[in-house]
Amino acid sequence: MNDKTKEFWENRYSEREYAYGEQPNDFFQNELEKLKPASILLPAEGEGRNAVFASKQAWDVIAFDLSTMAKIKAFSLAKKNEVDISFKVSSVLDFQSDRKFDVIALIYAHFDADIRIKSHQHLINLLKPGGVLIFEAFSKKQLGYKSGGPKDLKMLFSIDEMKSEFSGLTIQYLEELRINQKEGKYHQGKSSVIRMVGKNLT
């Protein structure tokens, strides 16, 4: 685990307000509502907004984040919404599970460049045959905007990188587009994002 990365997120999630709001990501919500509730894994889940939404829709939710403050905030949000979630404090490569999942959702999970490809492969291995990956994150064009995201080009995504890093999945939808974000304090304004839905047909 990168100590500087952990410190950054502990500080961000120590703020009183929810950094990215209390409502789920729009793309995540729309895609999840197309599916029958089953098991879902939410890596780098932050303060629990997507986990809480999924639980309210009767999904069996397991989430993790490397921040202890994220877990505290997530449980507080779950209590407020009267739902239960399972939330572990773990880095992505340290996360282990004896089960596989029907859905994995990577929502703004920008892993450090030196572990990104390995992290994505690790997570794909936790997807059931027939399982679905829901993905949204900033594209490399996001460096031209001030609406959030990493400032390291290597942590941002391109269409070609998506096809390569998730080559084990059958891509059902993949698009780079500009949106107007309204997600809490740190995702606000015009943004360049990549959205993908992939299925594990192995």
Domains of the chain: 3-199 (3.40.50.150)
pLDDT in tens, 138-172: 999 999 999 999 999 999 999 999 999 999 999 99
pLDDT above 80 (res 2)? no
With contact defined as beta carbons under 8 Å apart, do 143 and 115 qualify? no
- In the chain, pLDDT over 70 holds for what percent of residues? 99
Q: Quick one: pLDDT band at residue 202, thresholds 50, 70, 90? A: confident
Give the Cα separation of 113 and 155 in Å (integer). Answer: 5
d(CA 62, CA 86): 5
Other beta carbons within 10 angstroms of residue 30's beta carbon come to 12
Question: What is the rounded CA–CA span in Å between residue 77 and residue 174?
Answer: 31
Share of the chain residues as helix, strand and coil, in percent rounded to the nearest 5: 30, 30, 40
- Is residue 1 pLDDT above 80, yes or no? no
77-81 long-range CB contacts below 8 Å, 24 or more apart?
A: 77/18, 77/22, 77/47, 77/48, 77/49, 77/52, 78/48, 78/51, 78/52, 81/52, 81/55, 81/56
3-state secondary structure of 32: helix
51: nearest Cα among 43, 149, 122? 43
pLDDT in tens, 50-91: 999 999 999 999 999 999 999 999 999 999 999 999 999 999
pLDDT of residue 84: 93
**What value, to the nearest 5°, has the Cα angle with vertex 53 and ends 133 and 196?**
25
Q: Write the pLDDT tens digit of every residue in 176-189.
A: 999 999 999 999 99
Question: pLDDT category, 105, cuts 50, 70, 90?
Answer: very high
Instruction: Find the helix or strand (DSSP H, E) in which 68 lies.
Output: helix 68-80
Nearest in space to 157 (alpha carbons), one of 109, 125, 114: 109
As a residue count, the chain comes to: 202
